[in-house]
Amino acid sequence: MDATAASLMLLFCLVLGFQQVAIKGVAEDISPIVQMGLRSIMALCLVGGLAYWRGIRWADMGHHWAPGLLVGLGFAAEFAFIAWGLTYTLASHMSVFLYTAPIFAALGLHLWVPGEQLSIRQWWGVGLAFLGMVVAMAPSGAYSIEIVIGDALGLLAGLSWAATTVVIRRTSLSEAPAELTLSYQLSVTALLLLPVAAMSGQLMSAQFTPMAIASLGFQTLIISFAALLLWFTLLRRYRASQLGVFSFLAPLFGILFGTLLLNEPLSINFVIGGGVILVGIILVTR
């Protein structure tokens, strides 16, 4: 990897580390599930315009509709679990448990994608990561049972993210344009989450304060549009294993932002367990 790619990956992880804080910080004004649905539909408009400009048409989506639907369902599940989990747990916790995705992805690729079998070092990484999960989620006097529930939902979000990675690698989407894959993800997410938000009354009760609008703008333009397109673009030029080693930075930034901006407490077992998880991620993706 050259310096440009390394700098872009550092920026990518910095942005993703701030994502949970941006959602949690305005959750009292706009519920997380409403934020997910609104940012998905707005980002879809941007991605659709870019896809059209690059010569991708709606007819092209029909060529990959089956894997596209699976990827969209996985993406929707990921953000539904994030939204649900953030109503229970801390943004710093969600950052760590969400980014266990490389561990689950490595296991899925090992089972279903030829040539992606894990080495002995990577198996040690998987074992350390799961040990870290147990330690980080262990009962602590600093946190209530609700925190543990939210952490578990964060793990399910990471598992959903990993499932989309395996589907992309196993299907024709591995050769499809990035804009097409992202369109599947955003469209299914918006179609599923917005009706849920409307039926539960959360959409109507949303308060679009200046801070909430700024957060939605950041999530739409920077995370759901620019950051994800950057990730797909880098994947086309560099090996996933080279890029994956940076993945441990995102939860570190998430913990930093959650502690500094939201004054979230850190228990000793979470710090130790989170550190072990990060070591496991490095061993798996390095």
Instruction: State the average pLDDT for the chain.
Output: 88
Arithmetic mean of pLDDT, 228-256: 77
Buried-exposed string 162-194: b where 16+ CB fall within 10 A, e elsewhere: bbbbbbbbbbebeebbbbbbbbbbbbbbbebbb
Q: Per-residue pLDDT tens for 120-145?
A: 988 998 999 999 998 888 766 656 78
Query: Pick from 99, 47, 102, 104: which is nearest to 72 by CA?
Result: 47
Binned at pLDDT 50, 70 and 90, residue 165 comes out as confident
**Would you say residue 237 has pLDDT above 80?**
no
Minimum mean pLDDT range among 4-8, 22-26, 30-34: 4-8
Report the distance separating Cα 100 and Cα 244, nearest Å: 12
User: What is the percentage of the chain residues whose pLDDT exceeds 90?
Assistant: 52
Q: Mean pLDDT over residues 262-272, rounded?
A: 88
Q: Is residue 174 a contact partner of residue 32, using CB atoms and an 8 Å limit?
A: no
Q: To which residue do tokens 């598992």 refer?
A: 159
Whether 82 shows a pLDDT value over 80: the answer reads: yes
d(C-alpha 142, C-alpha 147), whole Å:
10
Q: Is the pLDDT of residue 58 over 80?
A: no
| pLDDT at site 204 | 94
Q: Are 243 and 13 in contact (CB under 8 A)?
A: no
More confident residue, 228 or 47: 47
Asked if 81 and 154 count as a contact pair (C-beta separation under 8 A), the reply is yes
- Binning pLDDT at 50, 70 and 90, where does residue 71 land? very high
> For 192-235, what is each residue's pLDDT tens digit?
999 999 999 999 999 999 999 999 999 999 999 998 888 777 86
Given a cut of 90, whether residue 269 has pLDDT beyond it is no
Give the per-residue pLDDT at 40: 95
